[in-house]
Amino acid sequence: MDRRRRRRRRRPARPRAGGGDPAEEDRLSTPEQPRRRSGRRPGSPDTRDAVLTAARETFAERGFDGATIRSIATAAGVDPALVHHYFGSKDKLFLAAIHAPADPAELLPEVLAGGPDDLGRNVVRLLLRVWDGPMQPAALALVRSAVANEWTAKLLREFLVTQVLRRVVGTLDLPAPEREARGALVASQLIGLVMGRYVLKVDPIATATPEWLVAHIGPTVQRYLTGDVRPPSVD
């Protein structure tokens, strides 16, 4: 059962807008209960949390592309300018909402600079650098929660597709269906590497050096990026 559904069921029992999901609350109370809104100062942690909760719900429901800062601000009962002020951009808001352990926009340019022929190895190398480093617990928490719960699975998929794969595959000049097919194939190998090394701990994937993994798994990712791949609809 996803979180939103549970929260909605709880709503009628609430005393006066107190208690549940702040986003949900504000959506309902915004027009009728101005007193409550006035109690929330623009800079308070309460406001920030309300925005993040509204963002998680909106991104899970509409996807990254379908969600707008305006719709999230409305859901949280705040001004869109405030959301911009806090988080800067929709990408940054998304990363904060899902507790992303790293910002692919900062890490990927280095990987992409190597050119298309080294893309496969470089992507695997970067993934291992993030996961073998101090971000591992946060990354693992994200994966565990995505597997446990459909709602978080959607958010992790949006993260992978819009923040990672789109940036990687976007460097290749390709029509959209082919880009998506290549991105999804890359995802399948990268997720499996993470699962095998950090979750199920299958030896020797779990214990191998990053270079061994780059040497063996990099060519797979490379083939998915630049080898023979047709989008499914052409079949």
Report the interface residues with a copy of itself, using CB under 8 A.
Answer: 143-144, 146-148, 153, 156-157, 160-161, 177, 180-181, 183-185, 187-193, 195-197, 199-205, 207-209, 211-212, 215-217, 219-220, 223-224, 229, 231-232, 235
- Taking a C-beta distance cutoff of 8 angstroms, is the pair 183, 88 a contact? no
How far is 119 from 115, CA to CA, in rounded Å?
6
Q: Give the nearest distance from C-beta 224 to a copy of itself in angstroms.
A: 8
> Least separation, in Å, of the C-beta of 141 and a copy of itself?
11
Residue 54 or 139: the one with the smaller Cβ distance to a copy of itself is 139
* Helices 80-87, 69-76: inter-axial angle, 10-degree rounding: 110
End-to-end Cα distance, the chain: 36
The least distance separating a copy of itself from the CB of residue 30, rounded to whole angstroms, comes to: 33
Question: With respect to a copy of itself, which residue has the nearer C-beta, 28 or 199?
Answer: 199
Which residue, 67 or 205, has its beta carbon nearer to a copy of itself?
205
Q: Which is nearer to a copy of itself, 80 or 219 (CB)?
A: 219
Instruction: State the nearest-atom distance from the C-beta of 165 to a copy of itself, in Å.
Output: 8
- Residue pair 12/24 in contact (Cβ under 8 Å)? The answer is no
CB of 79 to a copy of itself, least distance (A): 34
Residue 56: CA count within 13 A, CB half-sphere:
23
CB neighbour list of residue 23: distance below 8 Å, 6 or more residues apart: 50, 53, 54, 57, 75, 76, 77
Integer Cα distance of 184 and 192 in angstroms? 12
In the bound state with a copy of itself, the residue whose beta carbon lies nearer, of 110 and 211, is 211
Token pair recorded at residue 188? 């399948």
CB of 146 to a copy of itself, least distance (A): 6
Which residue lies nearer to a copy of itself by CB, 17 or 199? 199
List, as one string, the DSSP characters of 196-235. Answer: IIIIS--TTTTTS-HHHHHHHHHHHHHHHHHSS---GGG-
